[in-house]
Amino acid sequence: MAKKLKSKQKSGGEATKTTSETTDGEACDSKEFRPSASTPKAPPPAGSFRSLEPTLSQGVLNFLDSKKFHTMTPVQEATIPLFLQNKDVAVQAVTGSGKTLSFLIPVVERLKSKSFQKGQVGALILSPTRELAMQTWRVCNELCAATEMPPPLLLVGGGSSGSSTNHRPVTEDLKTFQQNGSNIVIGTPGRTEDILTRYNVMDVSELEVLILDEADVLLFGKTVMDPTIATVLNKLPKMRRTGIFSATTTFTSNKSIKPLLQRSGMRNPVLINVEVAKREDEAPEGGENSAQETSKQRKGNDGSTAYTPTSLTNYYTLSRLDEKISRLVSFLQSHREEKVIVFFLTCACVDFYGSSLKQVLGDDLYIELLHGKLVQKRREKAMERFRESSGGVLFCTDIAARGLDVADVNWVVQLDAPQEPSQFIHRVGRAARAGRKGSSLVFLTEKEEAYVDLLSNRQVALLPLPETETCCRPVQTGEDETADNENVTSILSPMKELVLKDRDLLEKGTKAFTSYIRAYKEHVCAFIFRFPALDLGYLATSFCLLRLPKMPELRDSKGKLRHFTPAGEEVNIYGIAFKDKAREAARQKRLAAELAAGGKNAKQIKAEQRKADQLRKQKERRQAAIQKGRNPDKKRGRNAQIIDDWDELAKEERLYKQLRKGKISQAKHDELLYGKEAKTADSDE
């Protein structure tokens, strides 16, 4: 029968009362843990690693000393001894509280004295994302080196043939594994299942430890266990130690997860929820391993539990959709010396805003991009550069919301609220890690303001953004009218100029718009994030659209599009080229084939091109008249204007018929229609 252990840690070295009881509510023995001290006079608040029983090996202690980890966090003090004493554990603790070492230290201690034959695996650690798996692998690799153990094997997807460390094909990693062996395997579920199913190189019959990190994703995100996880578990021996870890799932109060705990192979697990109470008269020192004073568990009105660091301050601001990006840029520029993570709703939004703002802002702001559709090599390099930077911005999706540990993140900004409220906790948890102070900011529209109350009911307080911040909302002066704010300069105009010159940005903006709409419709809190209330006009403006795409969601939405102004007829959408010459050549080839075949868009393409050419020619005539000293705005006789227009149309029609019948070439057609300038321009190209 499962037990639950509730650890409540106060700062200042005070005694900690830890109570164990069965999941049926029966009382068990209670015992008082008093953090031991490295010196009698000044005992460490949460206990020293050297005071653990059973004692840690010298190699592990040397590793901890090299990282300046002298004092355990509450989750480490509660978990490590139990795991070392052959207990299965299900652990919930706040983000940034040291969960990774809570399972890596017991894993290494259990395996370092074991003797494994070549090809046998002693421990398997599963993570939901490649980034989290690689982060765990880096720490484990150093820990294994300090204890003279074989390096762990990393198994993650990426690339056409799959890759792991250093982007080698996975077959090379398996070859290295066969030659040198590895006691610990760290990977994602999909890649691990693939290896265990397709390759007969790993012997897991003697596996002693299974770790499921971010278990709410791996196990509890659905009503049934993920088939991939089930396949992996079925290949593992039943007699093993299992540890599952999460930042949000409350194992002691969620009865629905008990069957899944059993299916995960846990036997009589100890359920641990770490509550950390911070004394008001003390402030965290911000040490590398000082999270014991900075996290707190709070019960919400709806029975839910929130887990956020107490050193984290959460803000919100109300904004129109078309103002968001300009205000974000203003905010980032005022914090350019700090590290900021910005979360977007979709991968396409990251691509569009990241690509366009990099060009608009240049060296004024350092920006990195990270999302799940980037190839693995680019993802790794982006994270590496951001980690090593002293200040900068990471544009990302929820792929970076779980487990990633980046030092000194000052702000977490959410340009869009997450689809699931639980993701809010994971997102903001990227700041205020390990006892440091941090802040978060979420942008909401006026119609989404109820989200503040929703989080408040879950005991996550959001404060209005201080007026000292430069991205504060401009003061309203009237209906649909916004007063100028000298601190907020619109970034949309220069972004739109780029869109008019680069088809890549044009297509990225359109894709971002459509992906945003579809993601918005999938919000769990649909009663707050109501699609019928979404201002599609402002949304289209925010993505610098020139024309609206054809999609079912835009039908019968004329009233919601009144705030969108499409590009004028003088803009030939099909004439906007890719800056990349190879992509543009391929596009022109496809366009010519479609026109020749008379495809469904052929008539529209030709009509738009003719209209744009006509307007361009009128503009050229106007400029020529100005150069000759004539006033093009001076009214001419009505008959003269009619004659000119008919002559022009007749000429265009005559030349077009000659071109269609093959009597003149395209070059000759352009020369006769547009003059020598067209021929000169063609020769220059």
Please tell me whether residue 227 adopts helix, strand or coil conformation. helix
Work out the average pLDDT over 415-440. Answer: 87
**Predicted pLDDT at 9:** 44
* Alpha carbons 312 and 41: distance in angstroms, whole number: 32
**Predicted pLDDT at 119:** 86
User: For 592-620, how does the pLDDT look when each residue is reduced to its tens digit (9 = 90+)?
Assistant: 887 777 666 666 666 666 666 666 676 77
Q: Which domains does the chain have, with CATH numbers?
A: 3-279+286-306 (3.40.50.300), 311-478 (3.40.50.300), 599-631+638-684 (no CATH)
* Alpha carbons 386 and 99: distance in angstroms, whole number: 23
Among 277, 349, 273, 267, which Cα is nearest to 310's?
277
Dihedral over Cα of 23, 24, 29, 34: its sign: positive
Structure tokens at 465: 């953004």
The three-point CA angle 366-424-378 to 5° equals 35
pLDDT at 517 over 60: yes
Please tell me whether residue 20 adopts helix, strand or coil conformation. strand
The region that residue 516 occupies, defined by phi over 0 for left and psi between -120 and 50 for alpha, beta otherwise, is alpha
Q: What secondary structure does DSSP assign to 293-326, as a single string?
A: GSEEEEE-TTS-EEEEETTEEEEEEE--TTTHHH
pLDDT at 472 over 60: yes
pLDDT at 1 over 60: no
pLDDT at 429 over 60: yes
Burial of 298 (0-12, 13-18, 19+ CB in 10 A): middle
Beta-bridge mates of residue 125? 186, 211
pLDDT at 134 over 50: yes
**Predicted pLDDT at 615:** 66
Question: Whose structure tokens read 């020293």?
Answer: 48
- Which of the listed ranges 192-196, 272-276, 671-675 does the model predict with the highest average pLDDT? 192-196
* Alpha carbons 260 and 251: distance in angstroms, whole number: 11
Question: Whose structure tokens read 């299965």?
Answer: 88
**Predicted pLDDT at 226:** 77
Residue percentage of the chain with pLDDT more than 90 = 38
Among 132, 107, 101, which Cα is nearest to 121's?
107
Cis peptide before 152 (omega within 30 of 0): no
Please tell me whether residue 226 adopts helix, strand or coil conformation. coil
**Predicted pLDDT at 458:** 84
User: For 137-189, how does the pLDDT look when each residue is reduced to its tens digit (9 = 90+)?
Assistant: 999 999 999 999 999 999 887 643 444 444 556 777 778 788 777 899 999 99
Q: What secondary structure does DSSP assign to 108-155, as a single string?
A: HHHHTT----TTB-SEEEE-SSHHHHHHHHHHHHHHHHHTTPPPPEEE
Question: Whose structure tokens read 């843990």?
Answer: 33
**Predicted pLDDT at 463:** 94
Least confident of 236-250, 261-275, 278-292, 361-375: 278-292
**Predicted pLDDT at 636:** 57
| 21: amino acid identity, one letter | E
User: For 21-69, how does the pLDDT look when each residue is reduced to its tens digit (9 = 90+)?
Assistant: 334 443 333 333 444 444 454 444 447 898 888 889 999 999 999 988 8
Number of residues assigned to the chain? 685
Return the higher-pLDDT residue of 352 and 364.
Answer: 352
User: For 615-673, how does the pLDDT look when each residue is reduced to its tens digit (9 = 90+)?
Assistant: 667 677 777 777 777 766 665 555 566 666 666 777 777 887 888 888 888 878 777 77
Work out the average pLDDT over 497-521. Answer: 96
* Alpha carbons 35 and 54: distance in angstroms, whole number: 15
The rounded Cα 307 to chain-centroid distance in angstroms is 20
Among 394, 528, 564, 510, which Cα is nearest to 451's?
528
Gap between the terminal Cα atoms of the chain: 78
Least confident of 241-250, 357-366, 598-607: 598-607
User: For 246-270, how does the pLDDT look when each residue is reduced to its tens digit (9 = 90+)?
Assistant: 877 666 555 656 666 777 778 788 8
Structure tokens at 554: 């835009």
* Alpha carbons 531 and 475: distance in angstroms, whole number: 26
The model's confidence at residue 320, banded by pLDDT at 50, 70 and 90, is: very high
Least confident of 11-20, 98-107, 400-409, 582-591: 11-20
**Predicted pLDDT at 626:** 75
**Predicted pLDDT at 476:** 46
**Predicted pLDDT at 136:** 93
DSSP 247: S
pLDDT at 237 over 70: yes
pLDDT at 474 over 60: no
- Count of C-beta atoms within a 10 Å radius of residue 38: 14
